[in-house]
Amino acid sequence: MFAVKSNPHPAAVQWLHDAGVRDFDTASPGEMELVRGRFPGARCYYMHAVKGRSAIARARREFGIRHFVVDHPAELEKLGDVLGSTDIVVMVRLATPGEGVKFDLSAKFGASAEGAAVLLDAAAARRYATGLCFHVGSQCIAPQAFRHAFDEVRKTLTACSAKIECLDVGGGFPVHYADTDPPPLENFIDTIESEFASLGLERCELMCEPGRALVAEGMSVLTRVELRKDRRIYLNDGIYGSLHGMVIGVRFPLRLVRPGAGPLPHDTEFLAYGPTCDGLDELPQRLLLPGDVREGDWIEFGCMGAYTLSLRTTFNGFYPNDFVTIDTPFRDLVSQQAPLAATSAK
């Protein structure tokens, strides 16, 4: 599955579909509408553990959803009330230790192994098919986080009598931001495959629902320098636009773009502001740029494809919304032009 929340832009979902993705993790009827409106034959999965009753009914009736996540008895009760006895798969979400992750999800979602076992048996007693799922947390740089999540799966399956027909290992696969050099993806996949094999489950489908790792490198954001005041620069994009990810601690790689200029050393730190009239619209990380940065220069932030577009606002009438397709990946442009310029701590 592709986790639509990470980049719902029509171009992103279209490219993934062109590449063969037919299954989509959708967290709301709005996301289901987006997917089905474009790809009537695609399969959507309702992978949100907390759903409104009308949303559950609509997901089933309008979009034919079969997979629904629960992490609490009250949510299972709700599914039973709304859907009665029908052919669905109840996916029980397990909490995980949240190891090596930038964004933990298990404080908000997930049942303990004991709780999950009770939920699986309760779902089976209602004659629903069952599955298990977890999400180790987003931007996870530790393959062993998946091994420890499988320990929880093992505990759960030992404690219940229900037989699961699918196991979904979530997303969380990492991206190379300016301050992270995660292990290769194969290390994660190898861990997952060997742990799954060791469970010895019969007729159980292995699933995953990545977002970030599929789309992050697919988009850059270009911002223009509108004004320089000594070591402070004012940009035409900021925390209420495309750069919200910085507020939650992501360090995007960047490079200066000055048409016609050759490679320039990125050796000076600047405080940067976004375009709105709000005093809070200040980038929380200083930007390492050529010392002569000036009005009319552009700054390209790379690796911006995940969780950027949905978080833009129209505050103050600014809305970054011009898209162009380019052929050369950001990382190649950087290596042709200058050493990778990282943002530095404030």
Ligand X SMILES: Cc1ncc(COP(=O)(O)O)c(C=O)c1O
Q: Which chain residues interact with ligand X by CB under 6 A?
A: 3, 6, 25, 47, 105, 135, 138, 170-173, 209-213
70-74, long-range: CB < 8 A, 24+ apart: 70/119, 70/123, 71/95, 71/109, 71/110, 71/111, 71/115, 71/116, 71/119, 72/111, 72/115, 72/119, 73/118, 73/119, 73/122
Minimum Å gap between C-beta 95 and ligand X is 13
Q: Measured from the CB atom, is 170 or 290 closer to ligand X?
A: 170
Task: Tell the smallest beta-carbon distance from residue 231 to ligand X (Å).
Answer: 35
Cα distances (Å, whole numbers) of residue 82 to 90, 143, 242, 272: 14, 38, 39, 50
Smallest distance from ligand X to CB 253, Å = 18
Residue among 103 and 234 whose Cβ is closer to ligand X: 103
Rounded-to-integer distance, Cα 273 and Cα 243, Å: 11
| Closest CB to ligand X among residues 2, 270 | 2
Beta bridge partners of 222: 300
DSSP secondary structure letter of residue 109: S
98 or 171: whose CB is closer to ligand X?
171
Q: Which is nearer to ligand X, 60 or 212 (CB)?
A: 212
Q: Smallest distance, Å, CB 250 to ligand X?
A: 12
Beta strands 232-235 and 268-273, pairing class: parallel
Question: Closest approach of Cβ 11 to ligand X, in Å?
Answer: 18
Complex with ligand X: residue 47 or 288, whichever CB lies closer: 47
Chain centroid, CA 179 distance in Å: 18
Residue with tokens 């200066």: 256
Nearer to ligand X, 106 or 130 (CB): 106
Output the smallest distance, CB 89 to ligand X, in A. 15
Q: Rounded CA gap, 269 and 341, in Å?
A: 11
Shortest Å, Cβ 303 to ligand X: 13
Cα gap 302→291, rounded to integer Å: 20
Pairing of strands 89-94, 67-70: parallel
Nearest-CB residue for ligand X:
171
